[in-house]
Amino acid sequence: MNIPRSFVIHETEHWTLNHRLNSAMPGYLMLGARSDASALHEMPDSALAELGPLLAKIQYLIEALFKPKRLYIGRYGHEPGHSIHFHIIPIHDWVEDLFWQDQRYRLLETLSSPNPQSLTDGAELTLFVWREFCERPDPPPSSGVTVEQTITRLREAFG
């Protein structure tokens, strides 16, 4: 995939970190292999050696700069033709508040729980972020920094 330079935050020999192109939520990042590999076992040892420290640095910077309530890192893609990549999704208080205010997502609650908000998990919040901030033509407003400010701050932090 050809990522516009305006979205690229940092590159190493084997990985590219960028803001997710279709995400209106600031800080939703993608870390993708610069090769055509679709699985970790297809990557050279040098790429695997870069991965752990790079993910740790990304996590540290996002938490230090933006202070999300939670930070999810996962691999979800399975479409042919895409190199292996990881989604890095910050969940801020305001994102979780929007989730709880949206009655459509109350269908996910467990009726038997005396405190359903304690049962929210990463899958539910990730679904919310994907549907509301990546797929909707009119996403909810975000709170805090913009996508552009997020990219700029992370680029500066990576030096």
**pLDDT (tens digit per residue) in 37-48:** 999 999 999 999
Q: What is the DSSP letter of 8?
A: E
pTM: 0.90
Using a pLDDT cut of 70, give the percent of the chain over it. 90
Taken in order of first residue, the domains within the chain and their CATH numbers are 5-152 (3.30.428.10)
Using an 8 Å Cβ cutoff, are 151 and 20 in contact?
A: no
Mean pLDDT over the full length of the chain? 91
Chain segment 103-119, per-residue pLDDT in tens: 888 776 654 355 555 56
Chain segment 51-74, per-residue pLDDT in tens: 999 999 999 999 999 999 999 999
Tell me: pLDDT of 149 over 70: yes
Q: CA 52, CA 12: separation in Å to the nearest integer?
A: 13
Provide mean pLDDT across the span 77-85: 80
Q: CA 38, CA 36: separation in Å to the nearest integer?
A: 6
